[in-house]
């Protein structure tokens, strides 16, 4: 006697909804973390490309904290203004694992004067470097 064990495509497709449900959450998790790493890679590429750009003084005009979808991480978004022929806007993002840390960072940075790099051929393109932000955070006195 031989065992006839065969699985047809029809039987696999019958349970397609189960496969989708089983893969939905792992795929969402992977997509969330992949977006974080892509964002980090793009940020470092922009900063490397901006090393030869001229500097101008800018001001952190606003800050907000948002949760990164499908993760337990938070992102603080700083909006900054600078003047090159006219006032222009830019945005800087920084990731945190805790909401309180992101809120503290946003509060400390709001209103700070910072050095902004801008592209000479297209002044609307600008970069606020992470090293500049880190200097301001380290120089800010800690109370309490």
Residue 143: pLDDT band with limits 50, 70, 90: very low
Alpha carbon distance 22, 33 (integer Å) = 19
Beta bridge mates, 13:
none
pLDDT for 91: 92
Q: pLDDT tens for residues 10-64?
A: 666 676 667 677 777 788 778 877 887 887 888 788 878 778 899 999 999 999 9
Alpha carbon distance 98, 116 (integer Å) = 27
Q: Which residues contact 112 (CB under 8 A, 6 or more apart)?
A: 59, 60, 136
Q: Taking a C-beta distance cutoff of 8 angstroms, is the pair 116, 56 a contact?
A: yes
Q: pLDDT tens for residues 65-121?
A: 998 877 788 999 999 999 998 999 999 988 888 899 899 999 988 998 999 999 889
Domain ranges of the chain: 43-139
pLDDT higher than threshold 70 for residue 138: no
Q: Read off the pTM.
A: 0.66
Q: 113-118 and 126-127: which strand pairing?
A: antiparallel
Strands (E), the chain: 55-67, 74-84, 86-96, 113-118, 126-127
């Amino acid at each position: 006697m031989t065992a006839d064990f065969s699985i047809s495509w029809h039987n696999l497709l019958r349970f397609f909804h189960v496969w989708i449900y089983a893969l939905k959450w792992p795929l969402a998790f992977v997509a969330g973390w992949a977006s974080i790493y892509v964002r980090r890679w793009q940020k470092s590429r922009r900063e490397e490309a901006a090393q030869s750009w001229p500097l101008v003084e800018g001001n952190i005009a606003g800050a907000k904290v948002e949760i990164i979808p499908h993760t337990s991480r938070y992102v603080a978004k700083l909006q900054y203004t600078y003047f090159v022929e006219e006032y222009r806007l830019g945005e800087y993002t920084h990731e945190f694992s805790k909401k309180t840390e992101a809120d503290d960072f946003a509060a400390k940075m709001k209103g700070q004067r910072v050095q902004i790099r801008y592209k000479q051929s297209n002044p609307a393109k600008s970069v606020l470097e992470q090293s500049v932000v880190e200097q301001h955070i380290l120089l800010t006195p800690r109370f309490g």
